[in-house]
Amino acid sequence: MKKKIIIGNWKNYLNYQESIHLSKKISKINISNNVRVMVSPNHLYLNEINQIFNETNIEVIAQNVTSSESKSDTGGITVSNLKNLNIKRSIVAHSESRIREKNPQKVLEEIIPIAYQFVLCFEEIDQIPFNLLTNKFEIILAYEPVWAIGTGETASIDHINEIHKKVKLKLEDFSLEIPILYGGSVNPSNSRDILESDYVDGVLVGGASTKIDHFEGILNSI
Ligand code: PGA
Protein backbone atom coordinates (compact mmCIF):
# COMPACT_ATOMS: atom_id res chain seq x y z
CA MET A 1 0.00 0.00 0.00
CA LYS A 2 1.17 3.52 -0.80
CA LYS A 3 1.97 5.61 2.25
CA LYS A 4 -0.70 8.13 3.16
CA ILE A 5 0.51 11.71 3.48
CA ILE A 6 -0.40 13.62 6.64
CA ILE A 7 0.39 17.33 6.74
CA GLY A 8 0.05 19.49 9.83
CA ASN A 9 -0.66 23.07 8.79
CA TRP A 10 -0.10 25.16 11.90
CA LYS A 11 -1.23 28.37 10.19
CA ASN A 12 -0.67 31.20 12.69
CA TYR A 13 -2.11 29.39 15.68
CA LEU A 14 1.14 28.99 17.61
CA ASN A 15 3.65 31.48 18.92
CA TYR A 16 7.39 30.83 18.81
CA GLN A 17 7.66 28.93 22.11
CA GLU A 18 4.58 26.83 21.38
CA SER A 19 5.88 25.97 17.90
CA ILE A 20 9.24 24.82 19.26
CA HIS A 21 7.56 22.84 22.05
CA LEU A 22 5.19 21.09 19.63
CA SER A 23 8.02 20.35 17.19
CA LYS A 24 10.07 18.65 19.91
CA LYS A 25 7.07 16.54 20.92
CA ILE A 26 6.24 15.52 17.35
CA SER A 27 9.86 14.68 16.62
CA LYS A 28 9.69 12.03 19.36
CA ILE A 29 6.57 10.26 18.00
CA ASN A 30 7.10 6.78 16.62
CA ILE A 31 5.67 7.12 13.16
CA SER A 32 4.24 4.06 11.45
CA ASN A 33 5.54 2.92 8.08
CA ASN A 34 2.11 3.59 6.54
CA VAL A 35 2.44 7.35 6.71
CA ARG A 36 4.57 10.22 5.50
CA VAL A 37 4.41 13.25 7.74
CA MET A 38 4.97 16.91 6.96
CA VAL A 39 4.56 19.93 9.23
CA SER A 40 4.09 23.50 8.14
CA PRO A 41 4.99 26.07 10.81
CA ASN A 42 4.88 29.84 10.60
CA HIS A 43 7.54 31.08 8.17
CA LEU A 44 9.31 33.03 10.91
CA TYR A 45 10.24 29.78 12.68
CA LEU A 46 10.98 27.57 9.67
CA ASN A 47 14.73 27.47 10.06
CA GLU A 48 14.80 26.53 13.72
CA ILE A 49 12.01 23.99 13.35
CA ASN A 50 13.69 22.43 10.35
CA GLN A 51 16.73 21.79 12.54
CA ILE A 52 14.57 20.07 15.17
CA PHE A 53 13.24 17.62 12.55
CA ASN A 54 16.63 17.23 10.90
CA GLU A 55 17.26 13.69 12.13
CA THR A 56 13.67 12.49 11.58
CA ASN A 57 11.63 11.44 8.52
CA ILE A 58 9.31 14.39 9.05
CA GLU A 59 9.50 17.05 6.36
CA VAL A 60 9.14 20.72 7.25
CA ILE A 61 7.34 22.70 4.55
CA ALA A 62 6.40 26.35 4.03
CA GLN A 63 2.86 27.71 4.19
CA ASN A 64 3.14 29.90 1.13
CA VAL A 65 5.48 31.06 -1.60
CA THR A 66 5.06 34.23 -3.61
CA SER A 67 7.92 34.23 -6.14
CA SER A 68 10.82 32.16 -7.38
CA GLU A 69 14.02 34.16 -7.33
CA SER A 70 15.18 36.95 -5.09
CA LYS A 71 13.70 40.16 -6.38
CA SER A 72 11.62 43.06 -5.17
CA ASP A 73 8.84 41.25 -3.33
CA THR A 74 8.36 43.04 -0.02
CA GLY A 75 6.67 40.74 2.47
CA GLY A 76 6.84 37.80 0.06
CA ILE A 77 8.42 34.37 0.44
CA THR A 78 10.75 33.31 -2.35
CA VAL A 79 11.79 29.84 -3.43
CA SER A 80 15.42 30.91 -3.35
CA ASN A 81 15.14 31.85 0.32
CA LEU A 82 13.22 28.68 1.18
CA LYS A 83 15.85 26.56 -0.58
CA ASN A 84 18.53 28.47 1.28
CA LEU A 85 16.96 27.16 4.53
CA ASN A 86 16.68 23.67 2.99
CA ILE A 87 12.88 23.88 2.83
CA LYS A 88 12.01 21.75 -0.17
CA ARG A 89 8.27 22.27 -0.49
CA SER A 90 5.52 24.80 0.12
CA ILE A 91 1.77 24.92 0.37
CA VAL A 92 0.37 27.10 -2.43
CA ALA A 93 -2.99 28.86 -2.78
CA HIS A 94 -4.41 27.87 0.59
CA SER A 95 -7.88 29.36 1.03
CA GLU A 96 -6.49 31.86 3.51
CA SER A 97 -3.86 32.98 0.94
CA ARG A 98 -6.57 33.11 -1.71
CA ILE A 99 -8.38 35.70 0.40
CA ARG A 100 -5.22 37.78 0.88
CA GLU A 101 -3.70 37.51 -2.59
CA LYS A 102 -5.37 38.22 -5.91
CA ASN A 103 -4.10 35.15 -7.74
CA PRO A 104 -1.95 32.89 -5.58
CA GLN A 105 -1.98 30.14 -8.25
CA LYS A 106 0.02 32.45 -10.52
CA VAL A 107 3.25 31.59 -8.68
CA LEU A 108 2.99 28.10 -10.23
CA GLU A 109 4.10 29.60 -13.55
CA GLU A 110 7.36 30.51 -11.81
CA ILE A 111 7.92 27.52 -9.58
CA ILE A 112 6.97 24.65 -11.90
CA PRO A 113 9.76 25.43 -14.42
CA ILE A 114 12.29 25.32 -11.57
CA ALA A 115 10.75 22.09 -10.18
CA TYR A 116 10.02 23.42 -6.70
CA GLN A 117 7.73 20.97 -4.90
CA PHE A 118 4.36 22.17 -3.72
CA VAL A 119 1.00 21.25 -2.22
CA LEU A 120 -1.65 23.02 -4.26
CA CYS A 121 -4.92 23.66 -2.40
CA PHE A 122 -8.15 23.97 -4.32
CA GLU A 123 -11.84 24.19 -3.64
CA GLU A 124 -13.14 24.10 -7.21
CA ILE A 125 -11.70 21.70 -9.77
CA ASP A 126 -11.24 24.55 -12.25
CA GLN A 127 -8.70 26.09 -9.85
CA ILE A 128 -6.29 23.27 -10.81
CA PRO A 129 -4.11 24.18 -13.83
CA PHE A 130 -3.86 20.59 -15.15
CA ASN A 131 -1.95 21.72 -18.24
CA LEU A 132 0.88 23.13 -16.09
CA LEU A 133 1.22 20.10 -13.82
CA THR A 134 3.89 17.47 -14.40
CA ASN A 135 5.20 14.11 -13.17
CA LYS A 136 8.78 15.35 -13.27
CA PHE A 137 8.85 16.23 -9.57
CA GLU A 138 6.51 15.64 -6.66
CA ILE A 139 3.34 17.68 -6.70
CA ILE A 140 0.53 17.16 -4.19
CA LEU A 141 -3.05 18.40 -4.49
CA ALA A 142 -5.31 19.15 -1.52
CA TYR A 143 -9.07 19.42 -1.80
CA GLU A 144 -10.16 21.92 0.83
CA PRO A 145 -13.80 23.02 0.76
CA VAL A 146 -13.78 26.42 2.46
CA TRP A 147 -16.97 25.68 4.41
CA ALA A 148 -15.15 22.78 6.12
CA ILE A 149 -11.99 24.68 7.07
CA GLY A 150 -11.80 25.40 10.78
CA THR A 151 -15.57 25.00 11.19
CA GLY A 152 -15.82 21.49 12.64
CA GLU A 153 -18.02 20.59 9.65
CA THR A 154 -16.07 17.84 7.93
CA ALA A 155 -17.14 16.90 4.43
CA SER A 156 -18.83 13.49 4.20
CA ILE A 157 -16.83 10.56 2.85
CA ASP A 158 -19.22 10.36 -0.11
CA HIS A 159 -18.61 14.00 -0.94
CA ILE A 160 -14.83 13.68 -0.59
CA ASN A 161 -14.81 10.53 -2.75
CA GLU A 162 -16.95 12.18 -5.41
CA ILE A 163 -14.64 15.19 -5.79
CA HIS A 164 -11.42 13.17 -5.53
CA LYS A 165 -12.71 10.70 -8.12
CA LYS A 166 -13.44 13.56 -10.56
CA VAL A 167 -9.97 15.01 -10.04
CA LYS A 168 -8.32 11.61 -10.41
CA LEU A 169 -10.11 11.05 -13.73
CA LYS A 170 -8.94 14.44 -14.94
CA LEU A 171 -5.37 13.67 -13.81
CA GLU A 172 -5.58 10.41 -15.78
CA ASP A 173 -6.58 12.35 -18.90
CA PHE A 174 -3.34 14.31 -18.52
CA SER A 175 -1.36 11.14 -17.60
CA LEU A 176 -0.50 12.70 -14.26
CA GLU A 177 0.25 10.71 -11.13
CA ILE A 178 -0.46 13.17 -8.35
CA PRO A 179 -1.80 12.35 -4.88
CA ILE A 180 -4.87 14.17 -3.57
CA LEU A 181 -5.28 15.00 0.09
CA TYR A 182 -8.44 16.13 1.85
CA GLY A 183 -8.42 19.08 4.24
CA GLY A 184 -11.20 20.59 6.37
CA SER A 185 -11.88 19.83 10.05
CA VAL A 186 -9.97 16.55 10.07
CA ASN A 187 -9.65 15.29 13.65
CA PRO A 188 -8.75 12.02 15.40
CA SER A 189 -12.38 10.83 15.31
CA ASN A 190 -12.88 11.18 11.56
CA SER A 191 -9.36 10.67 10.23
CA ARG A 192 -9.52 6.87 10.01
CA ASP A 193 -12.63 6.85 7.81
CA ILE A 194 -11.17 9.54 5.55
CA LEU A 195 -7.71 7.97 5.30
CA GLU A 196 -9.17 4.53 4.59
CA SER A 197 -10.78 5.72 1.36
CA ASP A 198 -8.95 4.58 -1.78
CA TYR A 199 -9.66 7.98 -3.30
CA VAL A 200 -7.85 9.82 -0.50
CA ASP A 201 -4.05 9.86 -0.50
CA GLY A 202 -3.75 11.76 2.76
CA VAL A 203 -5.01 14.66 4.84
CA LEU A 204 -4.09 18.30 5.35
CA VAL A 205 -4.87 19.06 8.97
CA GLY A 206 -5.12 22.56 10.42
CA GLY A 207 -6.35 23.14 13.98
CA ALA A 208 -6.07 19.52 15.15
CA SER A 209 -2.42 19.38 14.07
CA THR A 210 -1.48 22.03 16.63
CA LYS A 211 -2.44 19.81 19.59
CA ILE A 212 -0.02 16.97 20.19
CA ASP A 213 -2.61 14.40 21.34
CA HIS A 214 -4.92 15.17 18.41
CA PHE A 215 -2.12 15.07 15.85
CA GLU A 216 -0.76 11.85 17.31
CA GLY A 217 -4.27 10.39 17.20
CA ILE A 218 -4.53 11.22 13.51
CA LEU A 219 -1.07 9.77 12.78
CA ASN A 220 -2.05 6.57 14.60
CA SER A 221 -5.44 6.25 12.93
CA ILE A 222 -4.18 4.15 10.04
P1 PGA B 1 -8.73 22.75 9.66
O2 PGA B 1 -7.83 23.43 8.52
O3 PGA B 1 -8.24 21.33 9.82
O4 PGA B 1 -8.50 23.58 10.88
O5 PGA B 1 -10.13 22.79 9.18
C6 PGA B 1 -7.44 22.75 7.37
C7 PGA B 1 -6.60 23.65 6.52
O8 PGA B 1 -7.00 24.81 6.33
O9 PGA B 1 -5.54 23.27 6.02
Three-class DSSP labels, the chain: CCCEEEEEECCCCCCHHHHHHHHHHHHCCCCCCCEEEEEECCHHHHHHHHHHCCCCCCEECECCCCECCCCCCCCCCEHHHHHHCCCCEEEECCHHHHHHCCCHHHHHHHHCCCCCEEEEEECCHHHCCHHHCCCCCCEEEEECCHHHCCCCCCCCHHHHHHHHHHHHHHHHHCCCCCCEEEECCCCCCCHHHHHHCCCCCEEEECHHHHCHHHHHHHHCCC
**What pLDDT was estimated at residue 1?**
76
Judged against a pLDDT cut of 80, whether residue 124 lies above it is answered with yes
Mean pLDDT of the chain: 96
Ligand 1 atom nearest the C-alpha of 91 is 9
Within 6 Å (CB) of ligand 1, which residues are found? 9, 144, 149-150, 183-186, 204-208
Mean pLDDT of 205-222: 97
Instruction: Specify the range with the lowest mean pLDDT, choosing from 8-22, 37-51, 60-74, 181-195.
Output: 60-74
**What pLDDT was estimated at residue 145?**
95
pLDDT band at 102 (very low <50, low <70, confident <90, very high): confident
For 64-87, what is each residue's pLDDT tens digit?
Answer: 999 998 788 899 999 999 999 999
Judged against a pLDDT cut of 80, whether residue 59 lies above it is answered with yes
214 Cα to the center of ligand 1, angstroms: 13
203 Cα to the center of ligand 1, angstroms: 10
Ligand 1 atom nearest the C-alpha of 9 is 9
Task: Enter the pTM of the model.
Answer: 0.97
From 6, 9, 143, the mutation candidate for ligand 1 (largest count of ligand atoms within 8 A of CB) is 9
**What pLDDT was estimated at residue 72?**
87
Find the helix packing angle between 16-27 and 212-219, rounded to 10°.
30
160 Cα to the center of ligand 1, angstroms: 15
Mean pLDDT of 38-58: 97
Ligand 1 atom nearest the C-alpha of 187 is 3
Which residues fall within 8 angstroms of residue 132, CB to CB, at 6 or more apart?
108, 109, 112
pLDDT band at 99 (very low <50, low <70, confident <90, very high): confident
**What pLDDT was estimated at residue 207?**
97
Residue whose CA is at the smallest distance from ligand 1 atom 7: 206
From 64, 186, 209, the mutation candidate for ligand 1 (largest count of ligand atoms within 8 A of CB) is 186
- In sequence order, the β-bridge partners of residue 89 are 117
184 Cα to the center of ligand 1, angstroms: 5
Mean pLDDT of 23-50: 97
Residue whose CA is at the smallest distance from ligand 1 atom 6: 206
4-219: CATH superfamily: Aldolase class I (3.20.20.70)
The domain spans of the chain are 4-219
Mean pLDDT of 115-133: 96
Mean pLDDT of 111-135: 96
**What pLDDT was estimated at residue 191?**
98
